[in-house]
Amino acid sequence: MPTTQSPAQDSPREQTWDLPEQEQRPYALLRHSLLLAQRSLTKTRRNPGVLSDALFLPVIFLVLFVYLFGGEVSGSSRAYLQYIFPGILVMTTILVGMLATGLNINIDIKKGVFDRFRSLPINRSAPLIGSVLGDLPRYVLAIVTLFGIGYALGFRVQTDPASALAAAALALTMGFCMSWMNVVIGVLIKEEAIVQTVAFLGIFPLAFGTNMVVPTSSLPGWLQAWVKVNPVTHAVEGCRGLLVGGPVTAPVTATLLWSAGFLLVFGPLAVYVYRRRN
């Protein structure tokens, strides 16, 4: 006679959990995600070297672009610093988020950490959300570092402190929402090296195909067409308006709409791919 396997004999990868009533409340997902974010922060505290990208990327990009192109584009490095700083702010948050988040999740999955999470009575999306939230200190550190280096080089906010904080928040929002693209890549692809390659290839046209380095009018026609529809361009223009003056409402609104779109599309997609893979 065929034997029936009891639920206790199921493997952890096949177990399903009926969450207690208190765990089905709306705030349970947030609480579980924050607890797992705390786990990520603990890892970072014990290995602070993982924050090196947030420390060095802003310095490298700002110094490199200002002193390579400043004299040619604006006549002086100081004048060019005022133009390029908002673009570097946006690009830094995007690079810091997209290059690290998906890779860290991929490594945890390969080590079996996420299999352990599956044995817990938590929402299936909580490990992904917790990992992304746990990377927020990288964004904050990158922004603080960039403003510190920019101020040392001569950058000055031409608006007011509240607008500068709004620019930082706008860049952080864009980077956070776009990082979900890399979460999908990190869950979908099994090899770490390929995750990094695909993530960089995805970032390159978005982060650099903007008017960050030179005005849109100076670009060839085919590139202008891409720059005008690139969502990162709106973020750069919004931060530029908030930091040094210029249009604010239209680019900031477009940035927030694009950010919401990235989050609403790639967030659920990441959870779906994670469920299928595991």
Per-residue pLDDT tens over the stretch 267-278: 999 888 888 765
Match 């990441």 to its residue by tokens: 270
- Specify the higher pLDDT residue, 81 or 24: 81
Distance between CA atoms of residues 217 and 202, nearest Å: 25
- Specify the higher pLDDT residue, 118 or 77: 77
Distance between CA atoms of residues 216 and 211, nearest Å: 5
Predicted confidence (pLDDT) at residue 127 exceeds the cutoff of 50: yes
Query: Percentage of residues in the chain with pLDDT exceeding 70?
Result: 87
pLDDT at 26: 56
Match 């000055």 to its residue by tokens: 156
pTM of the model: 0.82
Buried b (16+ CB within 10 A) or exposed e, 246-256: eebeebbebbb
Predicted confidence (pLDDT) at residue 11 exceeds the cutoff of 70: no
Three-state DSSP class for 140? helix
Predicted confidence (pLDDT) at residue 197 exceeds the cutoff of 60: yes
Closest CA to 274 of 127, 134, 119: 127
Q: How many helices (H) and strands (E) does the chain have?
A: 11, 0
pLDDT at 49: 66
Predicted confidence (pLDDT) at residue 12 exceeds the cutoff of 60: no
Residue 1: pLDDT band (50, 70, 90) is: very low
pLDDT at 25: 57
Distance between CA atoms of residues 147 and 150, nearest Å: 5
For residue 53, the tally of other CB atoms under 10 A from its CB is 18
What tens digit of pLDDT does each residue of 39-92 get?
A: 777 777 777 666 777 778 888 888 888 888 777 776 778 888 999 999 999 988
pLDDT at 278: 58
CB 252 within 8 A of CB 238: yes
Residue type, 212: M
Predicted confidence (pLDDT) at residue 187 exceeds the cutoff of 50: yes
What tens digit of pLDDT does each residue of 128-166 get?
A: 888 888 888 888 888 998 999 999 999 999 999 999 999
For every residue of 20-74, DSSP letters joined together read -GGGGSTTHHHHHHHHHHHHHHHHHHH-GGGGHHHHHHHHHHHHHHHHHHHHHHH
Tokens standing for 214?
Answer: 């030179």
- Specify the higher pLDDT residue, 99 or 221: 221
Contacting residues for 84 by C-beta, under 8 A, at least 6 apart = 62, 65, 66, 69, 70, 212, 213
